[in-house]
Chain A
Amino acid sequence: MTQRRTGSDSITARLALLFALALATLSLAAGGYLYHALTLDLTSRDENELHGKMALAIEALTRLDSLEAVDTRNSELAHIVVGHDRLTLYVTGADDRLLFATGHPRIAASARAALLESAQPQMFATHPDSVRALGSRAALRSGATVALFIESNTAETDRLLAGHLREIVLAVLLSAVLGLGAAYAIARSGLRPLREMADTAKLISVEQLDQRLSVESAPAELRELAGAFNAMLQRLQDSFTRLNEFSSDLAHEMRTPISNLIGHTQVVLSRNRSADDYRAALESNMEEFERLSRMVGDMLFIARADNAQTRVTKLPVDLRAVALKMQQFYEPILAEKEVSLSVNGDGRIDAEPLMIERAVSNLVSNAVRHAEQGSEITIHIQDGQRATTLEVSNRGQPIQPEVKGRLFSRFAHADTDGRSDGIGLGLAIVQSIMKLHNGAVTVDSSAHGETRFVLSFPPSGADARAA
């Protein structure tokens, strides 16, 4: 990781470099090709010329009678290469004796025999320039044979080629530099949407978590990234909001009992009292402490569940058994309120048993609290194709529509008169538990006072991915 944190991590720089490299390679290849073609062309021209001059010279020699005439008729031979400064023509007889020459022969006498054999132009490295030479035997009219050589000095073509090479290298370098610049500019403008996204992202802070990247204006390649980024922001904002709500709820709900505790304790301590008074104060404090303690526990449970920090260990749960257990547990209160509780139906789910008991218990507790005296509470379990449901219904005051919406939120008190037996977390806990199980809790309250809470669980196995 640390190794890679260098300048080359800039996409712009990398793109520009790669682009310039590609451009330089291309122009290098093109230049190389041209240079090669030019070399071939010049060589073949030179060779053709050598062959042409050779033919002319042989032709001229055949008209000569003797070896002696070679020198005398030199003007005709010399005429062949006149105006071609780089060409040298010479004729040798036996013993390599030079019979005629338009200039100083450059290739060594020893190399000439091989040249005669090949009858093809060959290159010879001589000083200061290389020469291309062609040799051939020619017969005089007298029948005597001589060796005829034409040398072509390549200095001129070499200079020409060297000049071209310089041009080509220059062109390659230039295109690399220009390419780098152009590529940098292109990459920068191409990556502008990224920078714009970054600028938007910079604006996002805790106070402005509602800022989003514009997905529509992003180029196709970045749309997915923008979408993912927005989704991440949404999740962040959600949990941040939850955290905020959690702390403000907690602060709000705890302030009253804590201030009661402080005030009450201070009053008691402010003068000497009897042991009974102290006991009464401690007992009263104890009740507040218990409330606080349970509230903190419940809030933690909800907070963890909402942030999906709680791992659910699923076991087979018999909903009927859970309902019957609640029936037994609530029996004293039911008897006290003269409310009956009946359980019907059957169903099994995969869930965390303790959580399910808690959810059902909270619903039953809620139903008992709001049930009319002498009425009946029903727990109805249904094992359906698409969901297994557990329904708790009771008769009581209908729930006002405006209350229904926030029934499952923290510290929602259905009793608007302020008094509530629980601390308003029971139904919120039910909802958290259902969310953890990929299920849902819904409420349904008819005008004539039938209130029905329904827990619906996805069929077993359908939510395996959530495990």
Chain B
Amino acid sequence: MRILVVEDDPKTGDYLKRGLTENGFVVDVVRDGIDGKFYATTGDYQLVILDVGLPKMDGWKVVADIRKQKDTPVLFLTARDKVEDRVKGLELGADDYLVKPFAFSELLARIRTVLRRGKSVDPEVFKVADLELDLQRHRAFRAGSRIDLTAKEFTLLALFMRRTGEVLSRTFIAEQVWDMNFDSDTNVVEVAVKRLRAKVDDPFEHKLIHTIRGVGYVLEDRAPQS
């Protein structure tokens, strides 16, 4: 998966490249709008991450020019947090709009959402290690025995399993599970994950839900550490 990052701030560009590369993407970073437009329209990228305030040509113009030639998904990454800017970005054809400062895990989650859009179809049953989630019958099993989950706990677990191996930020979880589209200063997500763990992980030796402190949570089958 190749991603083009158009970002004039060197520090941001560097950590985006490092972070995305470590997550399995091939990343090119360019520093201005002209280069961005050239690479995006001539290169073969699955996604373009675009800043708005760019030298030589701003991001609005770049995305408009890309859209004239290609359907490459574009994700805006900008400090402009006004609703009008967000609407403008999406109207110009961007696929998502993320406001700085943002959590890297959040960016990753959104990149994967954009890339996955219109592609994957959920399997009927998710399976990670000995944890199974039957979407159709709305049931969860661990080591063969049924786990009793509330509706939201089920949605939360389904999110984790659909995104196995991906670190999910609290904001992203709140948005996906409860449709809370603003940052709230509560620790609802922590408590919800804790309660889910109590049912899914606590009775078992092998833990599946892991906390990445300061980043979020991930569900994956980690090899038992000695």
CA distance A368 to B184 in the complex (A): 13
When distances are taken between beta carbons in the complex, the residues of chain A under 8 Å from B128 are none
When distances are taken between beta carbons in the complex, the residues of chain B under 8 Å from A289 are 101, 214
**Do B181 and A332 touch across chains, with their CB atoms under 8 A apart?**
no
Known interface pairs A333-B191, A335-B195, A336-B195; A422-B185 also in contact (CB < 8 Å): yes
Which of A289, A335, A336, A421: most chain B CB closer than 10 A? Answer: A336
Is B9 engaged at the interface, CB distance under 8 Å to the other chain?
Answer: no
**Do A293 and B187 touch across chains, with their CB atoms under 8 A apart?**
no
Is B124 engaged at the interface, CB distance under 8 Å to the other chain?
Answer: no
**Do B185 and A282 touch across chains, with their CB atoms under 8 A apart?**
no
Is A361 engaged at the interface, CB distance under 8 Å to the other chain?
Answer: yes
When distances are taken between beta carbons in the complex, the residues of chain B under 8 Å from A296 are 101
Is B192 engaged at the interface, CB distance under 8 Å to the other chain?
Answer: yes
**Do A332 and B81 touch across chains, with their CB atoms under 8 A apart?**
no
Main secondary structure of the interface of A (DSSP, over half): helix
Is A444 engaged at the interface, CB distance under 8 Å to the other chain?
Answer: no
Is A331 engaged at the interface, CB distance under 8 Å to the other chain?
Answer: yes
Residue-wise, chain A 204-231 has the 8 Å CB interface mask toward B (1 for contact) of 0000000000000000000000000000
A361 in complex: contacting residue of B103, B180, B195, B215, CB < 8 Å: B180
When distances are taken between beta carbons in the complex, the residues of chain B under 8 Å from A328 are 152, 178
Shortest CB–CB separation between residue A329 and chain B, in angstroms? 4
Known interface pairs A329-B178, A333-B191; A286-B213 also in contact (CB < 8 Å): yes
**Do B186 and A365 touch across chains, with their CB atoms under 8 A apart?**
yes
Interface size on B, as a range, is 20 to 34
When distances are taken between beta carbons in the complex, the residues of chain B under 8 Å from A335 are 195
Known interface pairs A283-B214, A286-B213; A336-B191 also in contact (CB < 8 Å): yes
Known interface pairs A282-B214, A283-B214, A300-B81; A361-B184 also in contact (CB < 8 Å): yes
When distances are taken between beta carbons in the complex, the residues of chain B under 8 Å from A329 are 174, 178, 180, 188
Residue of B nearest to A313 (CB): B83
**Do A332 and B180 touch across chains, with their CB atoms under 8 A apart?**
no
**Do B188 and A332 touch across chains, with their CB atoms under 8 A apart?**
yes
CA distance A455 to B195 in the complex (A): 32
Shortest CB–CB separation between residue A224 and chain B, in angstroms? 36
Residue of A nearest to B215 (CB): A286
CA distance A425 to B186 in the complex (A): 12
CA distance A396 to B191 in the complex (A): 21
**Do A294 and B185 touch across chains, with their CB atoms under 8 A apart?**
yes
Known interface pairs A282-B214, A290-B214; A365-B191 also in contact (CB < 8 Å): no
Main secondary structure of the interface of B (DSSP, over half): loop
Is B205 engaged at the interface, CB distance under 8 Å to the other chain?
Answer: no
Shortest CB–CB separation between residue A111 and chain B, in angstroms? 94
Residue-wise, chain B 205-226 has the 8 Å CB interface mask toward A (1 for contact) of 0000000011100000000000
Is A297 engaged at the interface, CB distance under 8 Å to the other chain?
Answer: yes
When distances are taken between beta carbons in the complex, the residues of chain A under 8 Å from B183 are 294, 297
Shortest CB–CB separation between residue A295 and chain B, in angstroms? 9
Residue of B nearest to A368 (CB): B186
Known interface pairs A332-B188, A332-B195; A358-B213 also in contact (CB < 8 Å): no
Is B179 engaged at the interface, CB distance under 8 Å to the other chain?
Answer: yes
CA distance A329 to B182 in the complex (A): 13
Q: Which residues of chain B (107-164) have a CB below 8 Å from chain A?
A: 150, 152
Q: Which residues of chain A (390-440) have a CB below 8 Å from chain B?
A: 421-423, 425-426
Shortest CB–CB separation between residue B124 and chain A, in angstroms? 26
**Do B188 and A333 touch across chains, with their CB atoms under 8 A apart?**
yes
Q: Which residues of chain A (248-286) have a CB below 8 Å from chain B?
A: 282-286
When distances are taken between beta carbons in the complex, the residues of chain B under 8 Å from A330 are 186, 188
**Do B152 and A331 touch across chains, with their CB atoms under 8 A apart?**
yes
Residue of A nearest to B186 (CB): A365
**Do A325 and B101 touch across chains, with their CB atoms under 8 A apart?**
no
When distances are taken between beta carbons in the complex, the residues of chain B under 8 Å from A331 are 150, 152
Sampled A-B contacts (29; CB under 8 Å): A282-B214, A283-B213, A285-B214, A286-B215, A287-B213, A290-B103, A296-B101, A297-B183, A311-B84, A325-B178, A328-B178, A329-B180, A330-B186, A331-B152, A332-B152, A332-B188, A332-B192, A332-B194, A332-B195, A336-B195, A357-B182, A361-B184, A361-B186, A365-B184, A368-B186, A421-B185, A421-B187, A423-B185, A426-B185
State the 7 A-B residue pairs at the shortest beta-carbon distance, nearest first.
A286-B214, A332-B192, A283-B213, A332-B191, A329-B178, A422-B185, A293-B101
